[in-house]
Each structure stands twice: as C-alpha cells, then as structure tokens.
Structure 1
C-alpha cells in the first residue's frame, strides 16, 4: 500500500451509501477515495480501472464482496472489507454518516494503521 492509499467504496447503485462515504471523506488527507456501484443502473458503475486503482475496497454488504470476486476473478483484487451497512438510509443521512465514519476509521486504524 502506498503512503496515501486509494480507497474504493462500493454499494448497490452508488446513489446513497457509497456516495455518502465519498462525500464525507473526500478531503481526508490520509487517503484518496472514490465510490462506485455494482448495478448496471449505478450512477458510477464499478470497473476494472477502479479495482486496479484501489489499494483497499469497502463494500456495504457481504454479498457485494462475493459479486466482485466472481465478476473480477480474472484480476488480482485488493483487500475487500465489509462495512455491514444495510440499504436503509438516504444520501447524507445523519446515522449513515456516523456509521460510515466510525466503521471506516476503525478499520483503517486497526487493520491498516492509518
């Protein structure tokens, strides 16, 4: 991992959860961040380019990791961490912001020491 890792955050359609994560962390000096969705209806659909760029991927649900592994099994993928945040929130919902902030920061601090 580089000094300033690239983090990709993925949810279903890149409308609420992953976009919120990108928005709240976009000016964080510890890492670069972008978001994408798995659905063909996503505002920004995940691509091989995103996965090649990423040093770490956060997904909202367990099934999303399996989908990425299956869809991109021909690639060497970065580590994929599960945030376990259901699709129960709107973009920038106060509780969603708290969950994302706590879980992303905890994982970065514990697993990646940043």
Structure 2
C-alpha cells in the first residue's frame, strides 16, 4: 500500500481532486492538505510522517513545505507536479493532467 499526500495552497481544488482520483486505485491510500493558514485541511506533521510520497502542485509549495517542515521530511520523496491554480474541483482537464503526471511515477499503473 503506497500512501500519497497531495498538497496545494488552500486544499480546496487541486489537492482534494488528486486525493479523490487516486483513492479509486487499488493499493493506494491518499490524503490531501493545504499549506496556507486558512486551508480547509492544513498540513500536519502527522500527515507528512504518514506519507510515502508527497506531491506538491507548485515549486512554491515545495519551498514552503521544506522551510516549515524540514525536520519531518528526512527520507521523504517530494515531487512537484507543476500544476497551476487554474482548475476547478474535479475538472476533467485537471484529472487528466494528474493521471498523466502521477501514474508513471507510481510504476505499477
């Protein structure tokens, strides 16, 4: 079972979409969070420690995550998907981009 954590800014559009899409795949557990103080579900040290792979949507998310949670990121794989904040929740174009970028990185899908 691979545990995937998806992170964006507010945890309203991109990361919850990714969480929902990949939760449908056998062998994957998913969670999502946001880096902003007013995020729907703020990033927690527990979520970081739980995850096998952390996917961030933008380089700025990776920088902020590394700055604020460096002590918890040792040996964690952090992958930036470079997906801009221009999609709606569960928008088909966003789902297509997520699948094209994430599935090849997981190896078995």
The question of whether the paired residues in 2 share the 8 Å contact of 1:52 and 1:77 is answered with no
Alpha-carbon distance between aligned partners in 2 of 1:21 and 1:29, rounded to the nearest angstrom: 15
**C-alpha distance 77-69 of structure 1, shift in aligned 2 (>3 A):** farther
TM-score, normalising length from structure 1?
A: 0.89
Alpha-carbon distance between aligned partners in 2 of 1:5 and 1:59, rounded to the nearest angstrom: 16
SS, match of residue 71 in structure 2: coil
Deviation of 1:87 (Å): 0.2
Q: Which runs of 5+ in 1 are unaligned?
A: none
Deviation of 1:77 (Å): 5.2
Which residue in the other structure is 2:91 paired with?
93
Which residue in the other structure is 1:47 paired with?
44
The alignment of Structure 1 onto Structure 2 pairs a total of residues equal to 108
Of 39, 53, 63 in structure 2, the residue corresponding to residue 66 of structure 1 is: 63
Deviation of 1:91 (Å): 0.3
Which residue in the other structure is 1:27 paired with?
24
SS, match of residue 73 in structure 1: helix
Runs of 4+ deviating beyond 3 Å = none
TM-score, normalising length from structure 2?
A: 0.93
Deviation of 1:78 (Å): 1.2
Note the aligned Cα RMSD (angstroms): 1.2
Deviation of 1:28 (Å): 1.2
Name the structure where helix makes up a greater proportion of residues. 2
